[in-house]
Amino acid sequence: MVVITKNKKAFYEYEILEQHTCGIKLQGSEVKSIKNNKISISEAYCFIDENLEIFLKGSHITPNKEGGKHYNHQPVRDRKLLMKKKEIIKLKEKIGEKGFTLVPLSVIITNTGFIKVEIGLGRGKKLYDKREAIKNKDLARENNRQLKT
């Protein structure tokens, strides 16, 4: 598996409780752009509509230069994620609880060449939780520096 992009902001702002991997429905020019690492999911989020379909909203995929005017895609649009209906129903029940949301965590390419999106069920962190996470990261970095010397 090759990680194309990660959503570092999601791990900072949310406490991730579950992770799921799902496929994504793309156009041809979008696939080429993603393989060239021209995707951003930092502002994106996921939602489930009334037909029990899950979508990725707010992701930006840069159009190809070679694609031309007629064959390129829209940079920002809703993209359908591919999951089994049972999994979507379970996620919808969990999202119904207060404070939970679906956040895209990363975009990966599998060994077989398929593009997948990892999504996480997250709960928003409080400000003091964010400060504690920064503090722990700084302490770990300092310990690694001391171990190297």
- pLDDT given at position 124: 85
pLDDT at 68: 65
Alpha helices in 20-126 (DSSP H): 28-35, 68-71, 85-95
pLDDT on residue 110: 92
Please report which helix (H) or strand (E) contains residue 121, including its range: strand 115-124
Torsion angle, alpha carbons of 30, 21, 86, 76, to 10: -30
Ranges of H-type helices in the chain? 8-13, 28-35, 68-71, 85-95, 127-148
Cβ 81 vs Cβ 23: under 8 Å: yes
Return the CATH class of domain 2-148. mainly beta
Residues facing 100 on adjacent strands: 123
The type of residue at 6 is K
* DSSP-derived pairing of the beta strands 115-124 and 79-82: unpaired
Q: Determine the pLDDT at residue 56.
A: 92
Nearest partner of 59 among 40, 84, 82, judged by Cα? 40
Instruction: Indicate the pTM of the whole model.
Output: 0.80
Say what the pLDDT of residue 128 is. Answer: 76
Answer for the pair 13, 105: CB distance below 8 angstroms, yes or no.
no
Q: H helices of 8-126, where?
A: 8-13, 28-35, 68-71, 85-95
**What are the sequence ranges of the domains in the chain?**
2-148
What pLDDT is attached to residue 10? 87
Report the alpha-carbon distance of residue 50 to residue 148 in Å, rounded.
54
* pLDDT by 10s per residue, the chain, length 149: 899 999 988 888 888 999 999 999 988 888 888 888 989 998 899 999 999 999 999 999 888 777 666 677 778 889 999 999 999 999 999 988 888 999 999 999 999 989 999 999 998 888 777 788 888 889 999 999 998 87
